[in-house]
Amino acid sequence: MGAIDDEAAAWLADNWRPERSLGEWWSALAESGWGFPTWPAGRFGRGLWPEEAARVTALRRRLGALAPPSGIGPNLAGPTLLAHGTGEQIDRFLPGIAHGTDIWCQLFSEPGAGSDLASVRTRAVLDGEQWRITGQKVWTTGAHRARWALLIARTDPDVPKHRGITFLVLAMDQPGVEVRPLREMTGRAVFNEVFLTDAVVPAANVIGAVHDGWRVAMTTLANERNYMGTGASSGGSRVDVPLMDLSMPVGEVLAGAEAEAGRRVPRLRGYPLVQALAVERELTGDPVVRQELARAYGYGELGRMTGVRVQAATKLGRRAGPELSVQKVATSRTLRHLGSLALGLEGPDGMLAGMDAPRGDRAFEVVCTAFVNSIGGGTDEIQRNIIGERVLGLPAEPRLDKDVPFRDQL
């Protein structure tokens, strides 16, 4: 181990105590910089390279210490603010993200603007020192619990669609913001549609320049694709920050998460899940099963390796390139393959539901949620276009609206 590993190990050993409250633990992680070690020093980070941060994460996991806050705030809002926010905006918003006290959502997609995100019709009109927002967003994760939202809105309809968008931070708890849950086939309602009627955003909450929001949104989307990509083959579990009581002892948080996750059934995700099923079913000697396990592992490693490249590019101050799209497509394929393989390994038991199913219904959950990665953050089809044009050098897809003012496209 190097000096960084020694310092991180010593800090974790001195500070991890299961009797501490969740709020105290997350605050300690934030202030020490070990919670988000790739963030800049002085901004709740240590300025580490991705491979150095990965070693810190491994040390924390070996100790059994709870992870820092996850979700849209730390993974999307934080990096976007660090890349494009002013010093005042970073000072105002980043502490709540790092300490896990503020929940964020992402108001990007609309009923008519999903894969073609630049076609957003939600309008932002300047009214003195504030913007008035009117429109509809959809597929918004966690909007029913969020305090803040990353929002893109149309501010100039007289220029081509990519050039008249502004990126703003909107307070969710205000008149004019209506959140309606969308029930999924899993039975949960993680996603929402959000209706905005003269909602207000202060002019000080514009991230980047007015009308230049598409460039800022690309940073958010890059981090979203990386976040979704690296999560597919992980064997760990994420604490659902919105459901956490910050006054709870972290030991109780971990125990409660384990109990909810499977009532004493280990909550395995990704490759560890199918590997465990193959062992339990005594199928590890089957040549077809072994080949499918190898394929699942390979897909996961491709996603992980491209994720490291993405983080390295970010560390160098560069926007990640088409490797993000490779990672995204690999992750989508991984999840679909894992779900199919898991149900195949379960055999007839795959028809069972709930705790009657092997591994507490985890295979069913993978199958029902795999499509999210194929759509969220840009569909697989969009990612393949990017790979074709920027990696393979193929001709670009025809775009008849490239130089047409957005108003004329309505």
DSSP-assigned letters across all residues of 317-384: TPPP-THHHHHHHHHHHHHHHHHHHHHHHHGGGGG--GGGSGGGGHHHHHHHHHHHHHHTTS-HHHHH
Here the tokens at position 282 are 């005594």
Task: Find the range with the poorest average confidence among 17-21, 81-85, 323-327.
Answer: 323-327
Cβ contacts of residue 358 below 8 Å, gap of 6+?
277, 280, 346, 349, 350, 352
Chain mean pLDDT for the chain: 85
Domain spanning 269-390 has what CATH number?
1.20.140.10
Kindly state the tokens that stand for 274.
Answer: 């199918």
CB 312 within 8 A of CB 49: yes
The percent of the chain in helix, strand and coil, each rounded to the nearest 5, is: 50, 15, 35
Asked if 101-212 and 269-390 have one fold, the answer is no
pLDDT for position 308 = 66
Q: CA 12, CA 17: separation in Å to the nearest integer? A: 9
- Asked if the model's pLDDT at residue 362 lies above 90, the reply is no
Its pTM stands at: 0.81
Torsion of CA 79, 80, 85, 90, to 10 degrees: -40
Rounded to whole angstroms, how far apart are CA atoms 169 and 201?
A: 7
- pLDDT per residue as tens digits for the range 54-113: 899 999 999 989 999 999 999 999 999 999 999 999 999 999 999 999 999 999 999 988
Tokens of 96: 């709540």
- Angle (deg, nearest 10), helices 380-390 and 323-346: 140
Q: How many C-beta neighbours within 10 Å does residue 267 have?
A: 17
Rg (CA), the chain: 22
Tokens of 43: 């901004």
Q: Which residues is 136 bridged to in the sheet?
A: 195
How far apart CA 216 and CA 18 sit, in angstroms, is: 39
pLDDT of 230 = 58
CA 125/CA 153 separation, integer angstroms: 9
Q: Which residue has the higher pLDDT, 172 or 250?
A: 172
pLDDT digit string, tens, across residues 262-271: 443 344 567 8
Among the options 193, 224, 323, 365, which is catalytic? 224
Q: Give the residue extent of every domain in the chain.
A: 3-78, 101-212, 269-390
Averaged pLDDT, 18-35 = 95
Which of 32-41, 69-78, 230-239 shows the lowest per-residue confidence on average (mean pLDDT)? 230-239
Q: 389 catalytic, yes or no?
A: no
Report the distance separating Cα 23 and Cα 35, nearest Å.
Answer: 13
- Looking at 71-85, 129-143, 184-198, 245-259, which range is the least confident one? 245-259
Contact 170, 201 (CB under 8 A): yes
Q: Regarding the domain delimited by 101-212, which CATH topology (the fold level of the hierarchy) does it fall under?
A: Butyryl-CoA Dehydrogenase, subunit A; domain 2 (2.40.110)
The predicted pLDDT at position 318 comes to: 61
